[in-house]
């Protein structure tokens, strides 16, 4: 079987999983409400399609200072007990996609630890408050995860404070957009790999010995894994590496009863974009070329992480689920 066919089958399985997760509440409502009209939301207008204003923040940037503020599902995500009793660790959990997943995990019944860069403390405290409001335990673990020691320490503290670990989301990323390869310094290239790829390997390796059968690892990749943006060649290559790690780890860890999957976002409105992720004077173009005519919001990915983490998805491993507005892979 070719790599394309293998990926295609995995993606279709993942897509069906996401559809099942989103369809279940509607099906239950239909049974309870008889012939009541379904609740439909036009994806073209679900969130703003207005071009984002030009803005910059020093890396790593804060979601609380973005205009407009991203939607992480703070007021919209409703849980249904899919992750009751689970113990989760998310890197990059203070903002963006990691924040949306952390909120969803807590509202689905999981205790949640989040790692983040120390200067992102204000955003992280907001997430902790939301986790606690959901009645779950929140653990804040600030650290620069570019070293093996830092990665291992975060995992150790998570296990100690949550009393175990069965759900790991490797999501943290560094992204700087450059129009020419000659503008990419060796320091930037190394930092991008240390943050994006090394931490996936190191966090996973540190966590696996404590993860019981039924545990799940979810890695955040990107549509750039398949179709690299010309101004993101270092970042895109790291996401391709993580995609490959996901598939290889899934094959190996199946023997331990641990599933490994990935979520592949397209253009999503997160602090990465205002901290150097977009070329100067190009912010207004961000997400405008998708089939839906807009960028995505972190909240739109939360249910995908929940679906892959859930015990209902026991046959899904080594797959990637896309959320890219219709223009991208998988």
Dist. CA 161–CA 77, nearest whole Å: 26
- The pLDDT, as a whole number, for residue 29 is 41
Record the tokens describing residue 273, joined without a space: 């974009």
Record the tokens describing residue 46, joined without a space: 């679900």
Q: What is the DSSP string of 35-60?
A: TPPP----TTTSS--SPPPP---STT
| pLDDT, tens only, 71-84 | 999 999 999 999 99
pTM of the model: 0.89
Residue 201 burial (10 A CB sphere; 0-12, 13-18, 19+) = middle
Contact 81, 74 (CB under 8 A): no
- Sorted by where each begins, the domain ranges of the chain are 82-323
Of the listed 47, 117, 198, 235, which one is catalytic?
235
Average pLDDT on 253-272 reads 97
Residue 71 burial (10 A CB sphere; 0-12, 13-18, 19+) = buried
Dist. CA 159–CA 102, nearest whole Å: 17
- The pLDDT, as a whole number, for residue 307 is 98
Average pLDDT on 249-262 reads 98
Residue 27 has pLDDT above 90, yes or no: no
Please state, for a pLDDT cut of 70, what percent of the chain lies above it.
89
Residue 203 has pLDDT above 70, yes or no: yes
Residue 9 has pLDDT above 60, yes or no: no
Asked if 305 is an active-site residue, the reply is no
Record the tokens describing residue 88, joined without a space: 């989760």
Per the DSSP assignment, residues forming a β-bridge with 261 are 218
Residue 26 has pLDDT above 80, yes or no: no
| pLDDT, tens only, 288-303 | 999 999 999 999 999 9
Residue 161 has pLDDT above 50, yes or no: yes
Residue 31 has pLDDT above 60, yes or no: no
The answer for residues whose C-beta is within 8 angstroms of residue 243's C-beta and 6 or more apart is 219, 221, 225, 226, 262, 264, 320
Per the DSSP assignment, residues forming a β-bridge with 264 are 322
Q: Residue 140 belongs to what H/E stretch? A: strand 138-142
The CATH class that applies to domain 82-323 reads alpha beta
Rounded to the nearest 10 degrees, the angle between the axes of helix 302-309 and helix 3-33 is 100
**Cis ω on the peptide bond leading into residue 267 (within 30° of 0)?**
no
- The pLDDT, as a whole number, for residue 330 is 85
Neighbours of 6 (CB within 10 A): 13
């Amino acid at each position: 079987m070719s790599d394309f066919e293998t990926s295609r089958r995995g993606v279709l399985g993942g897509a069906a999983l996401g559809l099942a997760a989103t369809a279940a509440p509607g099906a239950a409502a239909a049974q309870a409400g008889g012939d009541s009209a379904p609740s439909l939301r036009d994806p073209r207008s679900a969130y703003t399609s207005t071009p984002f204003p030009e803005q910059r923040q020093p890396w790593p940037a804060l979601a609380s200072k973005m205009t407009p503020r991203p939607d992480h599902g703070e007021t919209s995500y409703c849980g249904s007990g899919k992750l009751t009793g689970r113990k989760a660790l998310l890197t990059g959990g203070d903002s963006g996609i990691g924040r949306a997943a952390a909120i969803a995990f807590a509202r689905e019944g999981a205790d949640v630890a989040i790692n983040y860069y120390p200067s992102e403390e204000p955003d992280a405290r907001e997430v902790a408050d939301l986790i606690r409001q959901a009645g779950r335990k929140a653990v804040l673990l600030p650290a620069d995860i570019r070293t093996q020691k830092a990665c291992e320490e975060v995992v150790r503290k998570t296990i100690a404070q949550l009393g175990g670990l069965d759900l790991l989301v490797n999501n943290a990323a560094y992204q700087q957009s450059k129009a020419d390869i000659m503008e990419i310094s060796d320091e930037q290239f190394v930092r991008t790999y240390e943050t994006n790829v090394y931490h996936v390997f190191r966090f996973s390796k540190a966590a696996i010995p404590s993860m019981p059968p039924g545990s799940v690892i979810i890695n955040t990749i990107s549509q750039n894994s398949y179709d690299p943006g010309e101004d993101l060649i270092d970042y895109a290559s790291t996401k391709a590496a993580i995609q490959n790690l996901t598939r290889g780890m899934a094959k190996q860890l199946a023997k331990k009863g641990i599933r490994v999957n990935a979520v592949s976002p397209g253009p999503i409105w997160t602090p990465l974009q205002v901290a150097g992720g977009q070329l100067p004077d190009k912010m207004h173009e961000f997400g405008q070329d998708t089939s839906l005519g807009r960028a995505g919001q972190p909240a739109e990915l939360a249910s995908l992480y929940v679906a892959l983490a859930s015990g209902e998805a026991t046959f899904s491993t080594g797959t990637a689920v896309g959320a890219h507005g219709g223009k991208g892979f998988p």
